[in-house]
Structure 1
């Protein structure tokens, strides 16, 4: 049940009094309840099937999810969590998967997939490409919404949980170096942890540096109404860049005398990026662009500090209160200098500061047997200040709108929820939940009228798991959800970012303060078959009806071309996902330690107010697939993963068409364990050296069509990492 305009929330997870201890390994079936450690924050009743089939959240939780553990996360020696996610079934990345890529579930881009960090929305300025996999304990992929997390995930939710496990006496150091045809750089990772009485502590530190150099091609063609070409341009952008990323995550855990736990987790992230490029445009036919010989220097510095305090108290009745208070501060400094001979000398500087505080809590009742009843809250306040200064001494016949712009944004959020996971029978469990979320945004600036945007959303949720009788591992899932996606702060601000060579395919961009949230009704169903330890076959279908779909539309304002997000009406999305994973010994009698996995996702969508034939949701991946294998023998392990992502055309509006190329990623790794304290990991990514190609076209009635084609080169990368314990 919707409310008004925009919204935003936060997450909190419900984990169920999980798994269990049994009296002996001879038992084949028993039912038990136990508290999982604070990291799970969930209560659940599960069936214990014996020693070989311990609690598995993928199989036993009523809420459908995929959990990627730490060993899987670090297997390929990746330097960015984005590279990890592209191998997860049903997850794809936009573009070539590099810096600034967007994570997608069900093939849906444009922010439909919610990304959480420790169950909360990530701090402002944070990007996934700056997070090292070594800092992550697990990744949870939730296909359907639950009340304890924000329901702002129409396609689904990916929750990244930072390292929480404390190992006494842990001392680990990893040193690596990566080299590709267009980049190179070192990496270093340090993990320390120990226990002293009732105090446990850990610290993880990571450093990554990369230097890149490449040539990007961009060609433009202009046709008149009969289809005759009257303009042709060939552009080459010679680019060099440097990026340095620092991560630090200290963690302290106190166990108090009464059994309560108090946890402090700090997250420090700093990224320094600098890019220099020189764009030369040769005009073979027609008029040249305003700036055919453009040099640009760009720098971006982001610093983020986030602190969490988590208190867990258990009552004598068996109930539990889990409360968390977190605060974050950060700053981002950006500078761009543009130079084109004597025609253009432009400097754009932007300095942003953000601060936020958030409170989350969940009370879990133990008063009713067979039920995991919980109530919780999630509220926060965030401010963003941005100062943007633009200085231009360009030619008077090619004016660039600009000047000094200042704005302050305030976002206030509140969410309340209740939920119950009920084990109706040993084979049938039901999840019922409801979450109310409200958000209020106020933006004040010197170049626009004060913006007020307010919305509320009520989300009823239902999920169920039924284990088929007279089977050992067949089960059915069903979920009915109400989810939404609110416009982010930047999409609401009506200030303009200018494009140098402004045209239909390179427009200026601006926000829209009148945006309403997208509201979706969803249904998910799945069949899962488990026939041996670690062996799974599954088939899942889903559908989403989305109201007030947001997409960018490009128009001419009388002086320049401008792209602006607007609500365009109803959209529909459908998907089918197939997955298989199993050890070879589950098929044949063998001692070969070979694990196989495969997945296939087919996605469809349509938008009512956009003409066909390619009027699907922006950035949706029509087809994706993964294939993988892992082999182990003694101290030697190796494996590979192939990820395929289809592209194709998208009708953005009646006038605008976009195209994204097919993507094929082959990654390989090998691991040698010299002894318990030394091992060497060799990994290769983008082995096929895939380029990334994007195209766009814009047609103006009575004038003709402009087409643009950009090619970003790609090359294989080889990484070597020495991993040591001391």
Structure 2
């Protein structure tokens, strides 16, 4: 590993390898053109064969999104099941975040989540040049994209010629203020071009929750919990890119560092029979978490003409460090007892990746071949210290919280080594442009868990998967074209499923045992789309998709008796299921010049989403998939006044989750945002935005059971209705000055 660190540092002191080099032939953009648009901005019409939707930063910027997650709320088929007014794990086409591949500059990124997902709210929106929604897969890209991929393209050294400063303030409905600051510069430095950027973004999200708990649906109200939940912190980011000609080729160095420093404070009061009086107070709970998460990447890309074509060498060193300290104190007034716990979580996930690829012309076709090498190490540490006793002794009788012990399944290392060769052909035949390829992904996995039984502490597994893909784009006319893609993709197992440690009472009253021999889920996917250009700048498209997913990872009963005795079992996970995912996606982005409103632009996205899977009870959708997502908005420029204004509206349908011993139905409220801006000269923009204007809510219904048999018989342990609201609208005033 020391050699890998040295190699990465030597080749790329600034890093994110593989910057998408779409601007080789372009001149750097004047910074004034970016911060002062003066006209509506629409979706790009890409020339990619694989169906791809592309949105420049200017498409989102007027609504001043704080993060990439905020920006993605205006993109087709993207849903979230995050807390209200937060956008972290992307659910492309409504599927679990683990089914969506998040790329930065076309490269895989590591995430802290057990489902391998990357939280896009970790990346400030100010860093991006554009966002691409890649609906299908290609042989020259990792196949971990059953739902598709989101490619976040950061600014490179050719993006800007000049710089700008950004300063702003946010006001929240409870009277709190927070700041936002940033600066970007791009220009010639020495023999090459340099881009550097820095951003400081305060984050604040105060919420209130209410939970009503019944013995069963329509039954007696047992208790009510009232909770305040405040997320308060700051995100710091730095990015840099340098491009220079070296030895007849072009060397690109680029890098990114993002730190999330956040404190989450949850305080709740529980009342008997829903009567909110001191006499009926049952419990007092304080649950706080201190989080420091670092995302970083270092790499290099060197491109040179050789061997009769173009050869590219890339290396990347990327990782995430997630450290959390959580404490929970609960005072039980009814039993005069208390319980306290302190938990330390430390996740260190590192990847070293290298690629060599070569592209050359063969007659009327282009041949590309190469390989990717990935070496991943993930260290997980979860330790805990607990105390309990008589309430009269609280808090003096709390344990010495320096004495931490690893929780079961909480001290492990997962190592993955991949070698993925590929070959791809592409070409044009008249009105048709096509590509076809094969990718073979091999994976060796070693799981070491110090909390498992001695005989099971080290487990090894390996598998290889052939991933064919093909795409066709057919031009019908100057305005119309068809796209068709078919590809096989994979989803690798969640990290928390791989540990062979036995977790007692993990699913209701029963136990759970991980399975280090899991193989990935695979899917055959088809996308068929039609796109029409509207005038000079507008575009409308419709796409139909289908995914046939096999080897689904589902919870199964081993038949062994659980730690709680008769009636309880040991459950595990295995590749036992199949499912189908399908839907229709519509998007429109156009000026209204056909009715004489050339300075007014509108966008409208609607996706109907559905799926089917058989589980231990019967048929259901894929967990967490909303049945639709809709967004629409407009912008209007008044050039004579140097002003503009606009609005954006979003709504997504209900989602349902069913796992062993619990079922959840989630509903989201509507979201409305507006902006108004004023430009001063050619280099200053002042923009006021308002978000969460409808005070959106997140409502969840929980059906809880003790075991599988009672879940099938609908014999409830508890029925809970929870509602979460952000505390009112958020207003943001931002000034940008170009220089």
Q: State the TM-score, normalized to the length of structure 2.
A: 0.82
Structure 1 residues 413, 572: CA separation in 2 closer, same or farther (over 3 Å shift)? same
Q: Determine the C-alpha separation between the residues in 2 that align with 1:554 and 1:664.
A: 40
Q: Is 1:366 equivalent to 2:361 in the alignment?
A: yes
* Map of 2:467 onto structure 1: 459
Q: Is 1:712 equivalent to 2:695 in the alignment?
A: no
Per-residue CA deviation, residues 658-687 of structure 1 (Å, 9 max, x unaligned), is: 201143221212221112222101111121
CA displacement at 1:316 relative to structure 2: 8.0
- Decide which structure has greater helix share: 2
CA displacement at 1:591 relative to structure 2: 5.5
Question: Number of aligned pairs?
Answer: 666
Q: Does the 8 A contact of 2:449 with 2:500 survive in 1?
A: no
Describe the SS at the equivalent of 1:191. Answer: strand
Q: Determine the C-alpha separation between the residues in 1 that align with 2:259 and 2:615.
A: 42
Q: Does the 8 A contact of 2:84 with 2:724 survive in 1?
A: no
Structure 1 residues 361, 628: CA separation in 2 closer, same or farther (over 3 Å shift)? farther
Describe the SS at the equivalent of 2:45. Answer: helix
State which of 208, 218, 223 in structure 1 corresponds to 2:201: 208
Q: Determine the C-alpha separation between the residues in 2 that align with 1:392 and 1:386.
A: 20
- Superposition map of 1:381-530 within 5 A: 381-394=375-388, 403=407, 405-425=410-430, 427-448=431-452, 449=456, 450-468=458-476, 471-494=477-500, 504=508, 512-530=515-533
* Map of 1:72 onto structure 2: 59
Q: Determine the C-alpha separation between the residues in 1 that align with 2:104 and 2:503.
A: 29
CA displacement at 1:36 relative to structure 2: 5.5
CA displacement at 1:99 relative to structure 2: 4.4
CA displacement at 1:703 relative to structure 2: 4.1
State which of 615, 621, 637 in structure 2 corresponds to 1:609: 615
* Map of 1:269 onto structure 2: 258
Q: Is 1:199 equivalent to 2:205 in the alignment?
A: no
Q: Determine the C-alpha separation between the residues in 2 that align with 1:415 and 1:473.
A: 38
Per-residue CA deviation, residues 681-721 of structure 1 (Å, 9 max, x unaligned), is: 11111211111111221342484352122211123211110
Q: Is 1:637 equivalent to 2:627 in the alignment?
A: no
Per-residue CA deviation, residues 61-111 of structure 1 (Å, 9 max, x unaligned), is: 221101111212322111111110010122222245644632122222242
Q: Determine the C-alpha separation between the residues in 1 that align with 2:280 and 2:371.
A: 55
Q: Does the 8 A contact of 1:12 with 1:148 survive in 2?
A: no
Per-residue CA deviation, residues 486-534 of structure 1 (Å, 9 max, x unaligned), is: 11333423558999xx995x99988543433111111111122224212
Q: Determine the C-alpha separation between the residues in 2 that align with 1:248 and 1:569.
A: 44
CA displacement at 1:558 relative to structure 2: 4.5
Structure 1 residues 712, 591: CA separation in 2 closer, same or farther (over 3 Å shift)? closer
Structure 1 residues 271, 168: CA separation in 2 closer, same or farther (over 3 Å shift)? closer
- Superposition map of 1:586-605 within 5 A: 587-588=594-595, 590=596, 592-605=598-611
* Map of 2:624 onto structure 1: 619
Structure 1 residues 565, 81: CA separation in 2 closer, same or farther (over 3 Å shift)? farther
State which of 57, 73, 76 in structure 2 corresponds to 1:86: 73
Tell me which moved more, 271-280 or 83-92.
271-280
State which of 235, 255, 261 in structure 2 corresponds to 1:245: 235
Q: State the TM-score, normalized to the length of structure 1.
A: 0.84
Q: Does the 8 A contact of 1:13 with 1:148 survive in 2?
A: no
State which of 243, 246, 253 in structure 2 corresponds to 1:256: 246
Q: Does the 8 A contact of 1:77 with 1:683 survive in 2?
A: yes
* Map of 2:400 onto structure 1: none
- Superposition map of 1:51-70 within 5 A: 58-70=45-57
Q: Does the 8 A contact of 2:178 with 2:202 survive in 1?
A: yes
Q: Does the 8 A contact of 1:358 with 1:378 survive in 2?
A: yes
Q: Is 1:577 equivalent to 2:585 in the alignment?
A: yes
Q: Is 1:684 equivalent to 2:690 in the alignment?
A: yes
Q: Determine the C-alpha separation between the residues in 2 that align with 1:127 and 1:686.
A: 21
Structure 1 residues 652, 550: CA separation in 2 closer, same or farther (over 3 Å shift)? same
Tell me which moved more, 550-559 or 151-160.
550-559
Q: Determine the C-alpha separation between the residues in 2 that align with 1:282 and 1:451.
A: 47
CA displacement at 1:337 relative to structure 2: 1.4
Per-residue CA deviation, residues 170-213 of structure 1 (Å, 9 max, x unaligned), is: 22110111122256421111102220352211111111112343
Q: Does the 8 A contact of 2:587 with 2:604 survive in 1?
A: yes
